[in-house]
Every structure is written in structure tokens, then in C-alpha cells.
Amino acid sequence: MKDFYKPSNIKSTKEDVVKVYASQEEASQYTANRIAAIVKEKQAKGENAIMGLATGSTPKGVYQELIRLHKYEGLSFRNMITFNLDEYYPMMPIEEQSYVSFMKSNLFDHIDIVKGNIHIPDGTLSIEGIQEYCELYEQKIADFGGLDIQLLGIGRTGHIGFNEPGSGDLSKTRLVTLNDLTREDASADFGGKEKVPTQAITMGIKTITDAKEVILLALSKRKAEIIQKAIEGVVSAEVPATFLQKLQNIEYILDEEAASLLRKG
């Protein structure tokens, strides 16, 4: 790790709220180890680890490292219960772009997670059923005692999950409309922006910030501008990730490129 500091506007007592790593691999490895540590700690107590997971290009290296820990270091995930942040709407699970497909190919198919322990918002619901489903998603998280850790990426709009600009800090799991920039960023996956769904089901800001620990992972130069706003900017629904500044239990894990516009502390 090259550098760390505590921006003065982050209300945390921890010295290491922002960790900057020299490479994407090191940042991913640190994040995977944090997740693995919770899984092991809970195993030792005979408890489940309740994990909030993310999709996108950012966490891929984290999942690769978790798979490696499973395959070569004997780490079991049988006590892991997962809740994914979001899913496009509408979306069939079998479609290549679904977050169900993403999670299977990038993690779940390669570890010993119990299939019944996986929760990903359902993109196949009828519009009328969505609200009740979202309330149930929240209830399930609560029934497990809440999320032990929530892993997040960040979108260039400042979204966490699919909480786009305008999302309030009390928002819960719900149907949302995707921001134009978000759809543009997803266009390569769908073969054109017009094919990207306009809506999604996402955990809310409150669902995320209620987690016992939160990790926001951001890698590459593409994220430098939004990371500067998220960490050093004014807390506002205009950049939903700024709501994380209020947390005591937040870690921003960055590579040097994503951190490059931060004021040096």
C-alpha cells in the first residue's frame, strides 16, 4: 500500500478510511481478504456470514481471488449468505447481461456456496409485484441480522448500487430509472445503448448504509473524478456515494489511478 490518509470531512475515527494501492491486483486482493476474514471469523463461531455483493468490472478481481482462496487454500463458503445490490429490470436470469449470469460465471459457479443462500433481485416480476418483493428483500436481510459487509463499486454518476443522482439517504430496495450515463457505460455489454434496460431494482442507500461494514472499491483513471467528488465533495443526493462519508465503518479501497485527483493528506 503506497499511501493513506483521512480526509478531514470523513466522520470516521479510523485512520485508514482511504487506502490507496499501487495496482488493481493489490486493491482487489486486500478486498478479498477482508471478505474472507469475515467468512472465516463467522465459521469459527458457527455462524453465517451475510454478504452484500456487487457486479460490474470492478469486483471481478476480488471474486477471482475468492475463487483462488477456495480452490487452493481450502476456504469454504458454505456459511455465506449473499444479497446482491441490484438487477436490471426487466431481465431474465438466463440472459448473458443479467446479474444472475454475472454472479454465476464470476463467482458462484466456482465456489461451494449453497444455492439457496443466494439472493439477487428478480428482474422477471410483474410491475405490480415489485413493491412487495422489494419489501420482502429488505425483510430477508433483516431476518438474517443485517449485512455483515457490503461491497460496492461506484458509477460515474456517483451511483452505488443503482442509486442514481437524486436518491435519498433513506431510500430502500425499489424500482429505479437508470441515468443516461449509466446506460451509456453499459452499452458495450448490451450491443448498443438502446438495448440497455431503462430500469433496475436496487437496494437503497439506507439498505447499504445499514450494513455493519461497507467497502467501496474503485479502480482506474475512469473513476478518479467521481471518487474525488464522493470522498471530498459535499454530502448530497446529487452524488449518492457521498452519503457514505457519514459512516464510521466505511473503507474506500482505491488504486493509484482512481485516487489521482484526491487532495494529498
Q: Please list the active-site residues.
A: 164
Neighbours of 198 (CB within 10 A): 13
Q: How many residues of this chain interact with ligand PGA, rule: CB under 6 A?
A: 6
Q: Residue number with the shortest CB distance to ligand PGA?
A: 56
Write the DSSP string, 140-199.
HHHHTTS-SEEEE---TTS-BTTB-TT--TT--SEEEEPPHHHHHHTHHHHTSGGGS-SE
Describe the crossing of helices 24-44 and 60-73 by its angle, rounded to 10 degrees.
50
CB closer to ligand PGA out of 75 and 176: 176
Residue 226 cell numbers, joined: 467521481
Residue in this structure with the C-alpha cell 436470469, named with its chain if needed: 93
Residue 133 cell numbers, joined: 418483493
- Return the range that interacts with ligand PGA (CB under 6 A); candidates 110-118, 150-158, 226-234, 245-253: 150-158
Q: How far apart are CA 205 and CA 221, in angstroms?
A: 25
Task: Give the CA distances from residue 50 to residues 38, 39, 64, 195, 261, in Å, rounded to whole numbers and listed in that order.
Answer: 9, 9, 19, 33, 34
CB closer to ligand PGA out of 75 and 258: 258
How near is the Cβ of 89 to ligand PGA at its closest, in Å? 16
Is residue 179 close enough to count as binding ligand PGA by CB under 6 A? Answer: no
Is residue 153 close enough to count as binding ligand PGA by CB under 6 A? Answer: yes
Residue 181 cell numbers, joined: 450515463
Is residue 121 close enough to count as binding ligand PGA by CB under 6 A? Answer: no
Among 24, 31, 58, 202, binds ligand PGA (CB under 6 A): 58
- Return the range that interacts with ligand PGA (CB under 6 A); candidates 24-32, 94-102, 147-155, 233-241: 147-155
- Return the range that interacts with ligand PGA (CB under 6 A); candidates 50-58, 72-80, 91-99, 246-254: 50-58
- Radius of gyration (Cα) for the chain, nearest Å? 17
- Per DSSP bridges, beta strands 174-177 and 80-84 are unpaired
- For residues 83 and 49, is the Cβ–Cβ distance under 8 A? no
CB closer to ligand PGA out of 144 and 233: 233
Is residue 154 close enough to count as binding ligand PGA by CB under 6 A? Answer: yes
Among 52, 56, 158, 204, binds ligand PGA (CB under 6 A): 56
CB closer to ligand PGA out of 87 and 117: 87
- Return the range that interacts with ligand PGA (CB under 6 A); candidates 41-49, 151-159, 171-179, 250-258: 151-159
CB closer to ligand PGA out of 56 and 121: 56
Is residue 155 close enough to count as binding ligand PGA by CB under 6 A? Answer: yes
Task: Report the candidate in 221, 214, 215 with the shortest Cα–Cα distance to residue 259.
Answer: 221
* Helix/strand/coil for 127: helix
CB closer to ligand PGA out of 57 and 124: 57
Is residue 57 close enough to count as binding ligand PGA by CB under 6 A? Answer: yes
- Contact positions toward ligand PGA, by CB under 6 A? 56-58, 153-155
